Each structure stands twice: as C-alpha cells, then as structure tokens.
A and B are shown apart, each in its own frame.
Chain A
Amino acid sequence: MSDVAERVKKIVVEHLGVEEAKVTENASFIDDLGADSLDTVELVMAFEEEFGCEIPDDAAEKILTVKDAIDFIEANG
C-alpha cells in the first residue's frame, strides 16, 4: 500500500469514525462508510490539508470512493 493510500485511509477512519478494516479501496464513503453529504465536504477538506493540495469542487464531486481519493491525490498531489 502506498504512503498516500495509508494516509487517506487514516483520515477516513478518523473523520467517519469507522473501523479500519471497512476502509477498503473500493469502499464508497456514502454507501459503505455511512458518510452524508456534509461528511464528504469535510473529508475533502481534510485531504487538502493533509496533502497541501487544492481539490476543486468539480473534482471533489467525483471523489466517491477511497480509491477515487487516492488516485486524485497521486495524480495531483
């Protein structure tokens, strides 16, 4: 697992209060991890903070799974 993936998963565990085992790469924030629309905004903010990048709103809307987040950050981070 890449460094980015590990850090993304750590943020997801902390912010959504879910067990680490559930945070698989294909897990959907809303469907599998119990996030609501406000949680996803906060998650994106946390990713921006952690990786020092900016995630524009149109890109953020497409980040629906753990893998989406990792891919975006690896491509843009």
Chain B
Amino acid sequence: MRRVVITGLGMVSPLANGVKPTWEKLLNAESGINAIESFDVSDIPAKIAGQVPLGEGAGLFNFDDYVTPKERRRMDDFIVYGLAAAIEAVEDAGVQSDDEETLCRTGVMIGSGIGGLPEISKGAVTVETNSVRRLSPFFIPASLINLVSGHVSIKYGFKGPNHAVVTACATGAHAIGDAARIIALDDADVMVAGGAEAACCRLGMAGFAQAKALSTSYNDDPTAGSRPWDEGRDGFVMGEGAGVVVLEEYERAKARGAKIYGEVIGYGMSGDAYHITAPASDGNGGFRAMQASIKRAGINPEDIDYINAHGTSTPLGDEIEHGAVKRMLGAHYKNPTMSSTKSAIGHLLGAAGAVEAIFSLLSIRDNVVPPTLNLNNPSEGCDMDLAPLQAKERKVNIALSNSFGFGGTNASLVFKSVD
C-alpha cells in the first residue's frame, strides 16, 4: 500500500477562525465556550456552547469572506464552515491545479454528524405553519451532508472520489482514515477530508438535552462546563465548526517539496454492538479500535507519545475511555500524555475527529501537548498523565486520536512525524 501524509490543515473552531489562532489560544489554555446568546435557550436546561466567534478581523469568522449572499442561501452554516476550512487546507497544501488529470486524481471527503439542522428545523416550520409553496428550493441542497464535499469539488474542480462520512461524533476521524485508504489503494493521489458541524440551534440543543447528554450545571460559569475526567463533569458542551486536512501520497508530496505535518500510519475501526447512545461499560469498542490502529501502524503501545482522547466530559464516557486506553497501553500507561481538547472548544460532533486530528498533528510539529482544562480533581482511577490545566512540552513522535460516536461507532487514527 502507498504511504499517505498530511500536507494541509484548515479549521474553523469556537476559539478562532483558522488553524494558527486556534492553536495559539488552545496552548494558552483559553476556552471558546460561552453562554448562548444567538437564540433562545430559556426553556432548554443547557445554556452554554462553543460557538464560532463571528465578526470582522483576525481570528473572527465572517460569512461574507467566503460566500456571496446568493450562495449563502444555498448553504446552511455547516457547509460554509466546511468550505472555509477546506479553503484554508487546500491553500496551505498548495494542491490547486489546472491540470485535468491531476484534478481527476484529487477527491473530497468531508462529512458531518448531523448536517443542516437549523435549515431543517426552519423548513419544517415553513411547511407546517405556512405553506409548501414558501419552502425555499434550496432547502434540500442547503441541508444535505455531502454538499460540503460537493461545494469544495465545484470550487476547485476536484473530480476524484467525492464522498461524505456520517458516523455521528466519529465522522471526522472516519473521513480522514477512509480518505487515507483511498490514496493508499491508488484510487486518488490527493484527498481533502474532514468534518463540519453547525447543529448549535434550538432543535439541536433541545435534542441533546433531552438525551441527557449535555452539561447543565455550569450555565453561570460557561468556561468551566467542559471538564473531562474531572469529578465535577456532568455532560458534554455543544460545539460547532469544521476541520479539514489535505492528504497526499507520500512520494508525490516529497517530489513537489510539500510541507509535511505527519504520516497517517494507523487507522482502526470497530462497533460496540451495545447501545444507541451509551458506550459499553468495559470500553471494548474503543479498545478494539485502538488495537486495530496500532496493528495497522506496526507500532507497540509504548511508542505512543500523545493521545488526543475522545474525552467528551460525560460522566460515563470519560472513565470508560480512560480504562480502555490503560488496557491498550498495559504496563506503559504512564508513558504517553493524554488530553481532551474538548475541554476548550466543546464537542464539535462530526467535526470533532478532524479538528482533533489537526491538534494531534500540531503536537507532533511543535512537540507540545494541549491541556485538559478544568481538570482540577480527576475521578478515581483516572491516573494517567492527563495534561491538566496547562499545555505540556514533550517530544511527540507518534500521536493517536480517538473518536467515538452514537450508535457505538469507534475510530482511532495514528499519526507519525516524517523526517
């Protein structure tokens, strides 16, 4: 199989628009979580979220920078975030082309966990309370998950494989792993892959709140709401944004002198076959995904330096994942540093795995591990090095990133530095 490396990064996050400002704030232990003010949450018990900071200026997201008002009506927010992250990644990698053959060997695989929920909820109200004839003809293409991939391919003329993963909160990781395989199997030379999400609306907040998945105890202290492995955690904090990477066949990247962030050396998948929302109590699904990824990578557990955990800050999930990681590492469980960047940005659902893959790659580049915010009192048994409160400088050669989703779907990615 062909080797696959990452040559471009792009991100829209609750900390900032763009990879560089997000990474700086993340290492600086800043939080992107705030009280929700953009819509009514008076009747929803969870009132905080990691929302993309809007406005004009450095680090702020301005829709007008990416789409015209006419285009805007064709895209729900998740599509614009995905497009913006893809533009940053493609320009970072420099894989734009006019050559037909090159374009046919360049594909797109950007998924979403939920898709255009704000547009869907508005459309449903229009049809039920107004009239079918008032429903926008753009309702369907504005909401469809694979339209991120569609718009990116149209913008750049990428005519290779065009696909979109939908595996809830594992979407971004599955997209990057599957895209790597498409290149490894010689079905494309370049893939633009990741996840985008913007389900932070009344319907999305209400839905996750009714599933009892969200944090509700920190409405008056939003930045304390996401606290993976901490005793005081009480659910995840909704996030939104997008993460997109450019994957490229190694020899091609080397030949053109591309900047290489790291190699995708491992990818593992599994299913829990247990419950629609809860992880199996023995963490067997996550354990097997990690096992599969390190087997594919051809490494030993002690080779791992950094683990970007799924770590959503839910009472059940964090400890189960911690247990599964310890089981995977065996006697070496004190070796790596593990952190959850959801502590700073919340849970970006379908974008989470891609954003966290980018953080893992930046850890390799900069030899620093981002912190787990709010981890003041680790739960009993959570005795790994969890990078509490502050970023930690350490050599990172190999990083593993976990993503688990509703339905019992699990993905682990392993990245390695390239000399």
Residues in A lying within 8 Å of B, measured CB to CB: 14-17, 38-39, 41-42, 45, 48, 54
Contact = CB atoms under 8 A, between A and B. Distances in A.
Given A45-B133, A45-B134, A48-B133, A15 B70 contact: yes
Interface string B124-168: 000000000110111001000000000000000000000000000
Interface in B39-75: 68-70, 73-74
Interface in B227-274: none
A17 B68 contact: yes
Contacts of B73: 42
Interface of B: 68-70, 73-74, 133-134, 136-138, 141
22 contacts: A14-B69, A15-B70, A16-B70, A17-B68, A17-B69, A17-B70, A38-B74, A38-B137, A38-B138, A38-B141, A39-B70, A41-B137, A42-B73, A42-B136, A42-B137, A42-B138, A45-B133, A45-B134, A45-B136, A45-B137, A48-B133, A54-B133
A45 B73 CA distance: 14
Task: Give the dominant DSSP class at A's interface.
Answer: helix
Contacts, number: 22
Nearest to B72: A17
Nearest to A18: B70
Nearest to A37: B137
A54 to B, nearest CB: 8
Task: Give the dominant DSSP class at B's interface.
Answer: loop
A14 B136 CA distance: 16
A65 to B, nearest CB: 19
Q: 9 closest pairs, A vs B, by CB? A: A41-B137, A17-B70, A38-B137, A17-B68, A42-B137, A38-B138, A17-B69, A42-B136, A16-B70
Contacts of B138: 38, 42
Contacts of B70: 15-17, 39
Contacts of A48: 133
A38 B137 CA distance: 6
Contacts of B137: 38, 41-42, 45
A48 B249 CA distance: 53
A38 B68 CA distance: 16
A42 B136 CA distance: 7
